[in-house]
């Protein structure tokens, strides 16, 4: 089955290319990377524990503010 690599558009063949429909590992990984970055672009990844604690404090602060708003 002949196809075209979705990354670089070069012709691929399912009987020849192990990474079909990609022409090679490089394009397969590129596609995987694009998919992963699309998935994780929605929320900012927090790697730092201090930042995480800060974000949690911020979230709690917002919750408190909202509570106060509803009381008044
Ligand atoms: Zn390719």
Task: For residue range 33-45, list pLDDT tens digits in order.
Answer: 877 777 665 555 5
- How much is the pTM? 0.46
71 band by pLDDT with thresholds 50, 70 and 90? low
Task: Look at the alpha carbons of 44, 50, 52, 58 in this order and tell me if their dihedral is positive or negative.
Answer: negative
Examine the pLDDT at 25 and tell me if it is beyond 80.
Answer: yes
Examine the pLDDT at 46 and tell me if it is beyond 60.
Answer: no
CA 57-58-60 angle, to 5 degrees, is: 65
Distance (angstroms) between ligand 1 centre and the Cα of 28 equals: 8
Alpha helices, H only, 1-72: 25-40, 49-71
Dihedral-angle region of residue 20 (phi above 0 means left; psi in -120 to 50 means alpha; beta otherwise): beta
Distance (angstroms) between ligand 1 centre and the Cα of 24 equals: 6
Distance (angstroms) between ligand 1 centre and the Cα of 35 equals: 16
Alpha-carbon span 35 to 59, nearest angstrom: 29
Percent of the chain with pLDDT over 90: 21
Distance (angstroms) between ligand 1 centre and the Cα of 61 equals: 49
Tell me what pLDDT residue 61 has.
78
């Amino acid at each position: 089955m002949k196809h075209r690599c979705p990354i670089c558009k070069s012709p691929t063949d399912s009987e020849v290319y192990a990474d079909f429909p990609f022409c090679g590992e490089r394009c397969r990984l590129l596609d995987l990377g694009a998919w992963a970055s699309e998935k994780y672009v929605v929320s900012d990844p927090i790697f730092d524990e201090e930042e995480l604690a800060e974000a949690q404090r911020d979230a709690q602060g917002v919750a408190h503010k909202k509570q106060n708003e509803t009381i008044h």
